[in-house]
A and B are shown apart, each in its own frame.
Chain A
C-alpha cells in the first residue's frame, strides 16, 4: 500500500537527501519549499505524514502547524518537525502547537527514517477501531533491518 508524505523544507539539498531516503523506503514524496501556501498544499495532498521545517520563507513551521490543527481538516495527521533550533522552549512551543515529533539538525538518516516509520505506524494504529490488539508489523510499520530497493533514478 502506498504511503504519501509531504516534505516542506527550503533547503534544497536536505530535501533531495530526504526524498531519496523516503522514496527508497517506499514513500511517495511531494516536496514544497515555501511556507506561505504550505497549508493549502498539505490539505490538497491529504498525505499520511508531513515533514516540516521550522524556519521557512513566507510562514514559519509553527504557524503552519497551528493553522493545520485549528482548521481541523486532517485530524491525527502526524507531523515531524525538523529544526536547527533545539532549545527546550522551541521544543515546548512546537509540541504545544501540535507537532507530533521534534528533531534537531543535523540529524542522521536513520533517525529520520525511524521517526517517519514510527509516526506512520502510530497514526494508523490510532485510526483503527479499538477491537482486539494489533501488532505494529501487521500495520505495515517497517523494522530497522527491513531492506528496500533503491530508486533507479532521480525522481522529479
Chain B
C-alpha cells in the first residue's frame, strides 16, 4: 500500500475523518483495537502510533505519496523514513499540508470565476448586447444605400442597445467592485477582514469601553470569536486594524467626539485641535463611527506607501475596487506625495456623475522615524457623500480596467470596457 488519503484511512479503520483529525492533532489518545487497526492500515508498528503526532506525520507522508502519478521505491516505508530523518519527514509533511491548503484556495477561486451565476448572467447580457450592436453597426456602415425603413429600424435598435450596454456594464462593474461578498468569496484574507468589520458595523463598543491594559486580551477574544476570519493571515490583518482602532479610540473618546460632531458637524480641524492629535487619527476615527452618530454613511480607505489598499469601508455609490490597483487620481494617493499635509477635495467618479463626495486625506509615518530609519508612510481618506456635486469637482475613477475615461493622464492599462466594446 503506497499512498492513502486521510478520508480513506478513516474509512478503513471505521472512524470519521473528523475523529481521525483529532487523533492526528494529539487531541484524542488512542489504544486497543483502533491503535492496532491504524497501525495495520498504515503498515507500521503499533508502537509508532502511541504518540498522536506520529499518526499525523505518517498520514501526511502517506497523503504525499498518494498524490504521485506512479509508485516510487521506498514509499512503503514511511515509518523508517520518519525514524531516520524526523526533521526532513516533518518538512515533507508540512509541505504536503501547505499544498493541500493551496489546492483548496485555487479551487475556491476557480469556482468563483467559472460558476458565479451573477457574473455569468452579467457577462452574457453584456456580450449579447455587444453582439447586437456590432452586427447592426456593421450593416449601417456598409457602403451604398440602405432602405430607409431598415435604416431607421437599425438606428433605433442601436440606440436601445447602447443604453442597455451602458446599464449592463454599470451593473457588471458594480458587481465586480462593490457587491456583497458571498460564501464562495471566502478564503481571501483581505475579503475576510472586510466581512469581519462589516459584520461588526465597523464599531466595537466593548473595545471602546475597555481599559488600555485590557484591550490586547479583548482583541484576541474578538478575533477568536470571529467566524469570518478563516486564515491566520486574515486574523493578523484584523488584529493590526483593531489595534489601530483602539489607539484611535483612546486618542479621541467617543462621548466628547459625539458632542463636537453634534455641535459643529464635520469640523475636523476642531476635532484635531480639541484632542491634540494628528489629522490621520481624526479621519480614521470619524470614518469608523456608526452611521447613527454621524447622521450619514461615510467611507474610509487606508493604503500603504506602495498604494496597496489595507483597509476599506464603502461609501454609498463610491466604487472601491475589490482587487488590484485603484485609481491613481484619488486624493488618497495625492496625500502620499505630501507627507502629513491634510487635503480636502470635492470629487465625482467618472460615469457616476450624480454622486458627489467630499474627500479628506492625509498621510502619516506609520513607524517612528530615526536618523538611520526611513519613514514608512500610510495614507487615509475619509469619503463623505455630498448632497450636490460641486461644479469644480475633480473627476476620479475606480480602477483603470473598469473606467472608460480614455483621456486620463493616470491611465496605466486599457479599460476592459474600451477594449471589448
B interface majority secondary structure: helix
Interface set of B (CB-CB < 8 Å, partner A): 114, 120, 123-124, 127-136, 138-139, 144, 146-147, 149-150, 153-154, 157, 160-161
For residue B150, which residue of chain A has the nearest CB?
A: A154
Interface size class of A (residues with CB under 8 A): 20 to 34
Residues from chain B with Cβ under 8 Å of A14 in the complex: 128, 131-132, 135
Pair A107/B135 contact, Cβ less than 8 Å: yes
- A11, CB-defined interface residue at 8 Å: yes
Per-residue interface assignment for chain A, residues 138 to 156, with 1 indicating a CB less than 8 Å from any chain B CB and 0 otherwise: 0000000000001111100
Pair A108/B138 contact, Cβ less than 8 Å: yes
Question: Can you add 17 more A-B contacts, CB < 8 Å, to A14-B132, A16-B154, A105-B127?
Answer: A11-B131, A13-B136, A13-B161, A17-B139, A17-B154, A20-B154, A82-B131, A84-B127, A84-B131, A85-B120, A85-B124, A105-B131, A106-B127, A107-B135, A108-B138, A109-B135, A154-B147
For residue B156, which residue of chain A has the nearest CB?
A: A13
- In angstroms, Cα B138 to Cα A80, docked, is 21
Contact of A106 among B131, B146, B153 (CB under 8 A): B131
For residue A15, which residue of chain B has the nearest CB?
A: B132
Q: Among B131, B133, B146, which residue has the most Cβ atoms of chain A within 10 A?
A: B131
Residues from chain A with Cβ under 8 Å of B123 in the complex: 84
Pair A84/B124 contact, Cβ less than 8 Å: yes
Residues from chain A with Cβ under 8 Å of B153 in the complex: 16, 154
For residue A110, which residue of chain B has the nearest CB?
A: B138
Pair B139/A106 contact, Cβ less than 8 Å: no
Contact of B149 among A87, A108, A153 (CB under 8 A): A153
Pair B135/A18 contact, Cβ less than 8 Å: yes
Pair B124/A151 contact, Cβ less than 8 Å: no
Contact of A154 among B127, B128, B149 (CB under 8 A): B149
- A51, CB-defined interface residue at 8 Å: no
- In angstroms, Cα B379 to Cα A28, docked, is 65
Pair B131/A107 contact, Cβ less than 8 Å: yes
For residue B145, which residue of chain A has the nearest CB?
A: A150
- In angstroms, Cα B153 to Cα A110, docked, is 21
